[in-house]
Amino acid sequence: MQTGSYQGLKITNCQKVRVTDALVVEAPLQININKTAYTVVMRTPDNDEELVRGLLYAEDIYKRTAGFTFEILQEEDKIPTIINVQIPKEALGKGYLNKRTLLSVSSCGICGKKELKDLQVAGEKLISNTYFSTEIVRAMFSNMHLLQKTFKASGGSHAAAIFDKNQELLTLKEDIGRHNAVDKTVGTLLLKSELKKAKYLLVSGRVSYEIVIKAFIAKIPVIIAVSACSSLAVDFAKEFGICLIGFTREQKMTIYSNPEFIKNVQNV
């Protein structure tokens, strides 16, 4: 299963309609090596054995073609959640001895956790009195785009911007990694003791689980993305009380969770 169906409110030129979108499934996979938890990666299910083989090869953990045993230890809704790879100790490479060097760590906020239980996030559901219009969303995005200097020069960077309750820009940062850009904006406000002012997080790419977690921990109640949202991002946004909006382009946007924050759309 690589996609799942999720309902949303699609707004085009101020016209609202309920839609059902196919979102890419994002799910955690705990990888055990020789029955010991090694790491957790986020992935789209299917081809898990190929994923693990390629990952261990790239990380210089196991590069041989034989002697590799792959076993599914736990499933949820027929999706593997914990697997074990059995590798002779003498065949383990330097990457295993060095523990975590995963290439994916710069692009995945939870890659590197050892066990599924490490993904749990404590905290109460956000209670927000932030209400806004679709026109305000477009205005904030226009502001962000104007200030993306690195992207204009290179076409190769992501941006994250945080706005206050009056839609005034608090900070904007760019980075080659989506999650790095978000971390930079939150870090900036922490250093300035202004994180409590944060109400809107805008991101230039897609939203997956870890960006929702970052917003929740920072107590930012609204996430607005120019691109798609993953299935797990929507699930957690609903649980955390976050208004999550994707595909915000030109006169369009799709609201996936907590539409009551947006004026005149909750009853559609």
Q: What is the pLDDT of residues 56-113, one digit of tens each?
A: 876 778 877 667 788 999 999 889 999 999 988 888 877 776 655 443 433 455 555 5
248 is in an annotated binding site: yes
7-18 pLDDT, tens digit per residue, is 998 888 878 899
- pLDDT tier for residue 255 given thresholds of 50, 70 and 90: very high
Partners of 28 in beta bridges:
42
216 is in an annotated binding site: no
- Compute the Cα dihedral for 235, 236, 239, 241 and give only its sign: negative
**Mean pLDDT computed over 139-164:** 90
Which two tokens mark 251? 């006169």
Return the top range by mean pLDDT from 135-144, 161-170, 245-254.
161-170
Return the pLDDT at 97.
66
16-45 pLDDT, tens digit per residue, is 899 998 887 878 889 899 998 888 888 878
Alpha-carbon span 216 to 210, nearest angstrom:
10
**Mean pLDDT computed over 165-181:** 88
251 is in an annotated binding site: yes
Q: Which residue has the higher pLDDT, 105 or 187?
A: 187
- pLDDT tier for residue 154 given thresholds of 50, 70 and 90: confident
26 is in an annotated binding site: no
59 is in an annotated binding site: no
Cα 50-176-155 angle, rounded to 5 deg: 110
- pLDDT tier for residue 268 given thresholds of 50, 70 and 90: very low
185 is in an annotated binding site: no
Parts of the chain belonging to CATH 3.40.140.10? 123-261
Alpha-carbon span 97 to 82, nearest angstrom:
22
108 an active-site residue? yes
Instruction: Find the catalytic residue in 14, 108, 111, 243.
Output: 108
For the chain, what is the mean pLDDT?
A: 83
* Burial class (CB within 10 angstroms; exposed 0-12, middle 13-18, buried 19+) of 60: middle
Domain 123-261 architecture: 3-Layer(aba) Sandwich (3.40)
> What are the residues whose beta carbons fall under 8 Å from the beta carbon of 174, sequence distance 6 or more?
148, 149, 150, 151, 157, 158, 159, 181
Query: In this predicted structure, which of 13-22, 118-127, 236-245 has the lowest mean pLDDT?
Result: 118-127
